[in-house]
Structure 1
Amino acid sequence: MNKFFVTLISATAVLFAACNRNAQKFDASGTFEVEEVIVSAEQSGKILSFNVFEGQTIPKENVVGIIDAENLSLQKEQIQASIEALQEKTSNVLPQIKLLQEQLAVQQSQLNNLQHERTRIENLLKQDAATGKQLDDINAQIDVMQKQMDVTRQQINVQRTNTSTQNRSVLSEKKPLEKRVEQLSEQIGKARIINPVNGTVITKYAEAGEVTSAGKALYKIANLDTLTLRAYITGTQLPQIKLNQSVKVMIDSGAKAYREYPGTITWVSDKAEFTPKTIQTKEERANLVYAVKVRVKNDGYLKIGMYGEVLFVK
């Protein structure tokens, strides 16, 4: 009799627990999602290395692969050689200037001698030991020498101007070539596949050895530390919630239990929409609802696409 009584109590307890679970009333329900980032190739070419596998956690800024950029490197070296060759095309004005300056120095020395001779003749003329013609002749020679020196100075200036103009014309090609080198350097840098965010690889689309093109998807990654439950509430529930409100999030844990998580409402839609078709009954799908997003810290049990229930904290 006692044994039968204990069995009856146990059965009643199980039935009561099941009824309570089935009677659990949730304020909203939805599915978990995450912000996914699709990492694409920024350069065309053969994938030389690609160290990515699904389920792998990769830190931000890690280099996970290399795309062949040998052709771009050769182009860069060719342009750099062209820049170096430009320097050889420029003219060095110093040797020509040096010759003209030496010539000017000789002319200055000759002028000094002529001026000294003129002074001597002027003194002799005062003593009637020289003639006026001698003074005129020396003055004429001085005038000629000064004009020759003016011509030499002009030649120096012309030589400098012409050489500078010629060199500027040659070196004007340098700046566009340097910009092209910068462009190629940037493109070569894009041959490295750099992971943009901290996260876990969800899907891998390419393998080492394949030929890829710019913009082609290589892998999909997402930060699974925090997931977002996109749930739906009715218009009558809308006044009950606000941004940054704490809620309870429940997921199935076996056949007769729930696992509970703290959550925070991070977004509320400002437009009503029809209930998603994942809702089972036709009547429920016809209702207008508002989407909300609840941020939930993931302990590893939460998965993308998993269903979750929301209880508003009273």
Structure 2
Amino acid sequence: MKFVRMILAVVGVLAAVAAVAWYVWDQNTAGLPAGFAGGNGRIEAEQIDIATRTPGRVDRILVNEGDLIEAGQLLAVMDTRELEAQLARAQADVSRAESQIDEVRALIAQREAELALAQEELSRALELAERGVTSQAAADQQQARQATATAALNAAMAQLHTAERSVDSAAALVQLYEAQIADATLVAPVMGRVLYRLAQPGEVLGGGGRVLTMLDLGNVYMEVFLPADEAMRAGIGAEARVRLDSIPYAIPAFVSFVSPEAQFTPRTVETAEERADLMFRVKVRVPEELVAENIALVRTGLRGMAYVRLAGAEELPWPAEFVGEPIPSVGPVTGETE
């Protein structure tokens, strides 16, 4: 019985959330002309954690919270003294193994010469023994020498294989330490802004320890919820506008994602009227070029409205009373998937 009450409570909460979302959407989109849809939301950007790949001590952090950063910019450096010592040792092991290879190759050349001489002397001894000039014992002795020379050559070849494997092993360690040293230099993967500084110089972090959290300002968007009939007409790449509460301008945008399933269902869907209440998440993205041109003004968390031109309304003008004056355009808006 307690479980049933819990289920009913959850259903009640979901129904309340759906009702509130529907009311907010209806109030904000009342009066929109046919061919356009809209919803309220806030400006967001993807968060990216800048973290270590291997354990280590933080040496330097070169940025602060709020700093704008470019893709590829150096953000932090980990202490690599121990890794550099291990790299130097591995490099010395490579040099030593390569020297052993040179020595073994010289030894192989010597063993090959000895085997060739033993084979020649064996052939001569067998010929003389056949003619009765020397005894069979002398021929047997030369055959033993030839076998000894063959064994010595085989042993030298085995030494060569061992030395080559030693070089490969030491070279692999060199590559490993070089990669770890490279990973100790943390750079920005994309253009953005530092959101949080999570570590300080001198702090020891484990593998995967977070140093910074940044916002990817190349992916600035607003998420809104549209009813099923409008979501079906909001295609990927559809033209959109974002109107923030804090500025009187329309920001050009485009639809980059439409959820393939309803985000919430107010109650059991049985009738056409109830199915019309299903809401779908739609992501409206600001072009990266426009963000880059106004990077210093970009702030996440700002609330406002996003409006979408629906399929079949491509020729209709944007209603100025809903989107205001557009800011300068940076070129055609292209569609991208999420």
Q: Given the two structures, how large is their TM-score scaled by the length of structure 1? A: 0.65
Deviates more, 1:28-37 or 1:193-202: 193-202
Q: Distance in 1 between matches of 2:262 and 2:72?
A: 38
**Inter-partner Cα distance in structure 1 for 2:170 and 2:221:** 50
Distance 2:224 2:150 in 1: 83
**C-alpha deviations, 1:160-212, integer Å up to 9, x for none?**
12332344456544433433333222222211112211222222222333333
Deviates more, 1:76-85 or 1:103-112: 103-112
Partner of 1:259: 249
User: For 1:271, which of 258, 262, 279 is the aligned residue?
Assistant: 262
CA RMSD of aligned residues (A): 3.9
Q: How far has the Cα of 1:67 moved from its partner?
A: 0.8
**2:236 aligns to what SS in structure 1?**
coil
- The C-alpha deviation readout for 1:4-29, integer Å capped at 9, x for no partner, is xxxxxxxxxxxxxxxxxx99856321
Distance in 2 separating the partners of 1:153 and 1:238: 88
Q: Which residue of 2 aligns with 1:307?
A: 303
Count of paired positions: 257
**SS of aligned partner of 1:294:** strand
**Contact 2:115–2:153 (Cα < 8 Å) also in 1:** no
Q: How far apart, CA to CA, are the structure 2 residues paired with 1:106 and 1:260?
A: 98
1:195 matched to 2:185: no
Contact 2:118-2:146 at 8 Å conserved across structures: no
Give the conservation status (yes or no) of the 8 Å contact 2:125–2:134. Answer: no
Tell me how far 1:262 sits from its aligned partner: 2.2
- Please point out which of 235, 239, 244 is paired with 2:237: 244
CA–CA distance in 2 between the matches of 1:34 and 1:94? 67
2:211 is equivalent to residue 218 of structure 1: yes
Aligned to 1:188, the other structure's residue is in SS state: helix
Deviation of 1:38 after TM superposition, in Å, equals 1.3
1:32 aligns with 2:25: no
Contact 2:65 2:194 in 1 (8 A): yes
Q: Secondary structure at the match of 1:224?
A: strand
Which deviates more from structure 2 when the two are superposed, residues 238-247 or residues 30-39? Answer: 238-247
- Shift of the 170–88 alpha-carbon distance from structure 1 to 2, 3 Å rule, reads closer
Bigger Rg, which one = 1
User: How far 1:305 moved relative to its partner?
Assistant: 0.9
Q: Are the aligned partners of 2:49 and 2:214 in contact in 1 as well (CA < 8 Å)?
A: yes
C-alpha spacing 1:23/1:61, structure 2 compared with 1 (3 Å):
closer
Q: Identify which of 151, 155, 175 aligns with 1:182.
A: 175
Distance 1:251 1:193 in 2: 35
- The partner residue of 2:59 within 48, 54, 60 is 48
Other-structure match for 1:76:
87
Structure 1 residue 214 displacement after superposition: 1.9
One-letter code of the match for 1:206?
A: A
Partner of 1:6: none
In 2: Cα distance, 1:237 partner to 1:97 partner? 84
Aligned residues with identical type, % of pairs: 18
Given candidates 212, 215, 227, the residue that maps to 2:220 is 227
State the structure with bigger RCO (CA 8 A, min sep 6), 1 or 2. 1
The SS at the match of 1:162 is: helix
Mapped contact 2:242–2:306 kept (Cα < 8 A): yes
* Alignment of structure 1 residues 43-192 onto 2, 5 Å: 43-86=54-97, 87-88=99-100, 92-95=107-110, 139-141=132-134, 147-169=140-162, 171-192=164-185
What CA deviation, in whole Å up to 9, does each residue of 1:62-106 have, x standing for no partner? Answer: 333221122222223334434444554975255566567678878
